[in-house]
Amino acid sequence: PGQLPKVGETVKAWLPSLSQSINPFCLLLLTPLIVAFFTWLRRKGKEPSTPTKIAFGLLISALSVLVMVAAVKAGSNGGEKVSVWWLIGSSGVITIGELFLSPMGLSLVSKLSPVRITSLMMGGWFLSTSIGNKLSGVLASKWDEYENKASYFWLNFILLFAAALFLFAILRWLNKVMKEKGVN
What is the sign of the dihedral through the CA atoms of 23, 28, 29 and 32? positive
Whole-angstrom distance, CA of residue 175 vs CA of residue 55: 12
pLDDT number for residue 58: 96
Whole-angstrom distance, CA of residue 107 vs CA of residue 47: 15
- Residue 131's identity, in one-letter code, is I
Radius of gyration of the chain (CA): 20
Residue stretches of the chain with pLDDT short of 50: none
What's the pTM value of the predicted model, to 2 decimals?
0.87
DSSP 8-state assignment for residue 181: H
* CA of residue 155 relative to chain centroid, distance: 15
Maximum CA extent, the chain? 71
pLDDT number for residue 9: 72
Contact between residue 157 and residue 62 where contact means Cβ atoms under 8 Å apart:
yes
Q: What is the dihedral of CA 68, 74, 79, 81, to 10 degrees?
A: -80
pLDDT number for residue 5: 65
**Alpha carbons within 13 A on the beta-carbon side of 132:** 11
Contacts of 82 (CB under 8 A, 6+ apart): 71, 74, 75
Contact between residue 90 and residue 68 where contact means Cβ atoms under 8 Å apart:
yes
